Chains A and B, each alone.
Chain A
Amino acid sequence: METLLTWIGTLPGAIGQGFVWGIMALGLYITFKILDVADLTVDGSICTGAAVCTMLILSGVNVIVAMIVAFFAGALAGLVTGILHTIMGIPAILAGILTQLMLWSVNLLIMSGKANQPLVGFQFRDKVLISTGTNNIVKTLIILGIIILMLICALYWFFGTQFGISLRSTGNNRSMSRAQGINTSFTTVFGLALSNGIVALAGSLLAQQQGAADINMGRGAIVIGLAAVIVGEAIISKISSNFFLKLFSVIVGAIIYWIVFQTVIFLGLPSEYLKMLSALVVAIFLGVPYIKKQWFSKKAVLKKNA
């Protein structure tokens, strides 16, 4: 009973993490699901968002302004990947890796050459939007919930506009899109910029939640984001194909990811194993449908031959 209560005690923190990473995963959803591009820029741009936001707050800028600037810094990173990919013809994955590497230097420069810039302490209490860890968790959850709701509504609206559906068709069928007069290079670059802007926005919240910007905070971010996207999809795709719900499912996926994560820690798994665990979860979710298909078609062939 007592352990159950302690476990329940970990839930608000996990939900808080899930909210922030859910925002990150919404950004990833745009590239991975809508544009059908595997974009590895995000491991760098989430840190860019954290770094920009932290440094601006440290220099006395209003937190909302700092977060907006962080969004545009991330969008700029996406723009670079997009240009590498469309104008220079570099495969998307490699373009993302190149930008990610560039961002390592850029992020260090932003953080004045330090690998870690703390954002904790009494003097910041009124200068941040959300508190560190589980301090003031209710307020944090409400604020994050509002941000998420606004973001999902904005994305739902955007992808229903004439320009927005041209982004969706770009990801769905590039040659058809061009035949319908869509500049697919432009839509791809725009999508990459928008995606990384949102990821950087999540980074700016992550810095506040963790109480620091850290040069390593983006490592493996794409895996966590992907886990949220595919777990969410696995749940919602059975129920509905409504776009609003699909966006919403990404947040649900992120929350589930973090609850599982906290539970595994709670059960005593040493934290060294956690990245391994995340990667395995993603590998299994991505791989099982494929294997299932292979296996079933083989069975069908065997049956026919028998």
Chain B
Amino acid sequence: MLEIKNVSKTFNAGTINEKKALNQLNLKLENEDFVTVIGGNGAGKSTMLNAITGVFRIDSGEVTVDGQNITNLPEYKRAKYIGRVFQDPMMGTAADMWVEENLSIAESRGKHRTIKWAITKKDRERFRELLTQLDLGLENRLSTKMGLLSGGQRQAITLLMAAMQKPKLLLLDEHTAALDPATASKVLALTDRIVAENHLTAIMITHNMKDAIQHGNRLIMMNQGKIIYDVSGEEKAKLTKADLMAKFAEIAGENQESDRMLLN
């Protein structure tokens, strides 16, 4: 389904701020895999998603989706295959536009945008139905400005928008991090439902160990631009928070060790 082969990305190469964010990264996802991603700040998790969506050009390596090499496709063309939810609830929607306009934009993703009137009565009915399913009381707020909604409501709609054209790949970057616990678990439940109902392949970054364990069928841990731990199936099901904490401590020790070696 998704294959990342030997992908490297260095920011500010050749300057004092040089940062190797992805280091010969390899990852292969099967159809309907739901992978959770953990790792410390700066491990390269978001950079990996940006490399998949094409926010920047990678230095080396290859990204393929369903056998098609998308390494050289611009971001807006990859959007046809990829749905995305960001950490910042402001990022995923157009705040000054209405809810229905945002939904309509998402509905045309990957299609030719014509000069047909965008939102008809029929569209509005369909949008209302979709919003009713969210169960957040949004069905009567089609002509509310997106920016007036709460963070949780906005993330839920962004999720809906990401799934609307049934993408091959759904990418979630700490999409519940800015939400209060109750709203976060609501949005997570919605995530599970959307992934299952649409049979999506998904990657979800999180800093919450419990969520990383509870959701998905596979878990990977990243450190210094590489995947250093990869469990799935039975093994993942048996994983505990303590296991992951131990793993983290181990890495922290190694990182310190390599820092010391660099300094010497």
Distance in angstroms from B5 CB to nearest chain A CB is 23
Instruction: Select A168's contact among B77, B94, B110, beta carbons within 8 Å.
Output: B94
Q: Are A180 and B105 in contact (CB under 8 A)?
A: yes
Task: Find chain A residues with CB under 8 A from B105 CB.
Answer: 165-166, 169, 177, 180, 182
- A59 adjacent to chain B (CB < 8 Å): no
Distance in angstroms from B109 CB to nearest chain A CB is 4
**How many A-B contacts if CB must be within 8 Å?**
86
Distance in angstroms from A174 CB to nearest chain B CB is 10
- A91 adjacent to chain B (CB < 8 Å): no
Distance in angstroms from A278 CB to nearest chain B CB is 28
CA gap between A161 and B84 in the complex, in Å: 24
In the complex, chain A residues 84-134 whose Cβ is within 8 Å of any chain B Cβ: none
Task: Find chain A residues with CB under 8 A from B84 CB.
Answer: 179
CA gap between A89 and B252 in the complex, in Å: 41
Q: Are A173 and B53 in contact (CB under 8 A)?
A: no
Q: Are A172 and B95 in contact (CB under 8 A)?
A: yes
Distance in angstroms from A259 CB to nearest chain B CB is 30
CA gap between A157 and B119 in the complex, in Å: 12
Distance in angstroms from B126 CB to nearest chain A CB is 15
Task: Find chain A residues with CB under 8 A from B136 CB.
Answer: none
CA gap between A158 and B161 in the complex, in Å: 23
Q: Are B117 and A161 in contact (CB under 8 A)?
A: yes
Interface centre among B101, B110, B113 (most CB of A within 10 A): B113
Q: Are A179 and B93 in contact (CB under 8 A)?
A: no
Q: Are B109 and A180 in contact (CB under 8 A)?
A: yes
CA gap between A17 and B179 in the complex, in Å: 52
Distance in angstroms from B105 CB to nearest chain A CB is 5
Task: Find chain B residues with CB under 8 A from A181 CB.
Answer: 76-77, 79-80, 108-111
Q: Mark B57-80, 1 if CB is under 8 A from A, else 0.
A: 000000000000000001111011
Q: Are B91 and A182 in contact (CB under 8 A)?
A: no
CA gap between A241 and B96 in the complex, in Å: 11
Q: Are B115 and A168 in contact (CB under 8 A)?
A: no
Task: Find chain A residues with CB under 8 A from B79 CB.
Answer: 178-182
Q: Are A178 and B75 in contact (CB under 8 A)?
A: yes
- B118 adjacent to chain A (CB < 8 Å): yes
Interface centre among A173, A177, A183 (most CB of B within 10 A): A173
Interface centre among B76, B109, B119 (most CB of A within 10 A): B76
Say yes or no: A173-B118 contact (C-beta < 8 A), given A165-B97, A165-B105, A166-B108: no
- A162 adjacent to chain B (CB < 8 Å): yes
Q: Are A165 and B115 in contact (CB under 8 A)?
A: no
Instruction: Select A166's contact among B77, B110, B113, beta carbons within 8 Å.
Output: B113
- A184 adjacent to chain B (CB < 8 Å): yes
CA gap between A119 and B121 in the complex, in Å: 50
Q: Mark A159-201, 1 if CB is under 8 A from B, else 0.
A: 0111111101100110111111111100000000000000000
Additional 7 contacts, C-beta under 8 A, given A172-B94, A173-B93, A180-B161: A166-B108, A168-B94, A176-B92, A176-B94, A177-B76, A179-B53, A180-B108
**Could you show 8 A-B contacts with beta carbons less than 8 Å apart?**
A161-B116, A162-B116, A162-B118, A163-B113, A163-B114, A164-B118, A181-B77, A182-B79
Of all A-B residue pairs in the complex, the 6 with the closest CB atoms, nearest first, are: A181-B79, A172-B94, A181-B109, A162-B113, A169-B94, A163-B113
